[in-house]
Amino acid sequence: MLFKDVVGHSETKKHLIEGVKKNRISHAQMFLGSEGGGNYQLALAYAQYVNCETPKEDDSCGGCPSCIKYQNFQHPDLNFFFPSAVSKEVKTQPSSKKLTKQWIEFSKEKEYFELSDWTDYIGAGEKLSIINKLDSQDIIKSLILKNYEAKFKVVIIWWPEKMNTDCSNKILKVLEEPNPNSLFLLVGHNSDELLATIISRVQIIKLNNLTDKEIITGLIEKEGVPDDLAESLAMMAAGNFNKALQLVKNPDGDEKFIELFQTWMRLCYVVDFLNLDKLIENIHKMGRIKQKEFLEYGLRVFRECMIYNYANPELNRLHQKEAIFNKKFAKFIHGGNIMEIIEVFEHTHTAILRNAYAKIAFMNLSLKVCNYLKCKP
């Protein structure tokens, strides 16, 4: 991938390129940023740049043998490690190596993606995906072999948060004393979930969230989206370029949640436990990935309420059905409860990702929301 094809992050790109020119290349780096924000894409562009045979002033050449292999995700000195799970293709003892072929096909198909896109792709569905002991053995094995042809053998670990303890412990040593011709690029999303021992051994490249402006430019350049549509999609995507691309393909992507969310909030307001219980039963059946998306949808509605109350209602980007509801609902969301509401939603989001029992998590959340909706501004 070329730097120019990565949306936004212009300052970080400059900084990375400058480092390579001055021969300051740290052997273990972590590109830390939110999902869909381009941290994986930036790590790939960086790896391609350090190995490019005829680099240009501000990007890889895109045409040398190394670049061509990189762009096809098939360079003998480029190794990918990522969460895997028992899936359609691999029935027992899953590992990154066993799924590399699928990973390459997936990477060619989708320029931007999230963990749930990958687990959907391999048919792992709701199963927990991890980077395991087999992967750590393969990482170490790949480093023992001499580089085939590249200046730097690159090991990209996508979602190092998903390494199990066994794997983390095994790779600590290689992070500490890396082979001089190797480059470890970790692509992380949440530093709270990473072992301190891993964090202390890597140089962190912290990426800012993409701005609406960067997403708008990306949508116009990559997808040819008209300016005004790009503007409204960027607003809904909230820094996640993958989400913005999904919305281009399916602008009503959130529609399935509109009614469910509105009913939920009405039941919380009137504290109707009997019907809340039935509604939560339905949420429970949706499965973890949809539950996560539903909570993200809720956070977006609250943000729109705050914009309606405190900024300019004209800045709201809502479906008609949402706009009608929000006009009445917005007065219940204000400075007196917004921080608490965001916190409990985010807490539930994390709990769901960690496989909490959804029925209990959503009932706890509902009880809290019942109280917060009664708060005075």
Interaction site with Zn ion (CB under 5 A): 52, 60-61, 64, 67
Dihedral (C-alpha) 372, 374, 286, 342: value to the nearest 10 degrees?
-30
Nearer to Zn ion by C-beta: 77 or 138?
Answer: 77
Nearest to 130 by CA among 200, 185, 193, 201: 193
DSSP 287: -
Q: What's the closest the beta carbon of residue 71 comes to Zn ion, in angstroms?
A: 9
Nearer to Zn ion by C-beta: 16 or 52?
Answer: 52
| One-letter identity of residue 60 | S
Tokens of residue 105, six digits = 């096909």
* Cβ atoms of residues 30 and 39 within 8 Å: no
Q: What angle do CA 30, 32, 74 make, to 5 degrees?
A: 60
Alpha helices in 287-319 (DSSP H): 288-310
Nearer to Zn ion by C-beta: 68 or 339?
Answer: 68
Nearer to Zn ion by C-beta: 61 or 229?
Answer: 61
Left if phi > 0, otherwise alpha if psi is -120 to 50, otherwise beta: which for 154? beta
DSSP 130: B
Nearer to Zn ion by C-beta: 12 or 60?
Answer: 60
Nearer to Zn ion by C-beta: 77 or 161?
Answer: 77
The tokens 């996560």 sit on which residue?
A: 292
Q: What's the closest the beta carbon of residue 50 comes to Zn ion, in angstroms?
A: 11
Q: What's the closest the beta carbon of residue 186 comes to Zn ion, in angstroms?
A: 24
Q: What's the closest the beta carbon of residue 53 comes to Zn ion, in angstroms?
A: 5
Q: What's the closest the beta carbon of residue 26 comes to Zn ion, in angstroms?
A: 21
Q: Give the Cβ contact number of residue 319 at 10 Å.
A: 15
Q: Which positions ≥6 away from 370 have C-beta within 8 Å?
A: 268, 269, 271
Q: What's the closest the beta carbon of residue 68 comes to Zn ion, in angstroms?
A: 8
Q: What's the closest the beta carbon of residue 96 comes to Zn ion, in angstroms?
A: 26
DSSP 312: -
Nearer to Zn ion by C-beta: 64 or 172?
Answer: 64
d(CA 354, CA 33): 19
Nearer to Zn ion by C-beta: 99 or 150?
Answer: 150
Q: What's the closest the beta carbon of residue 64 comes to Zn ion, in angstroms?
A: 3
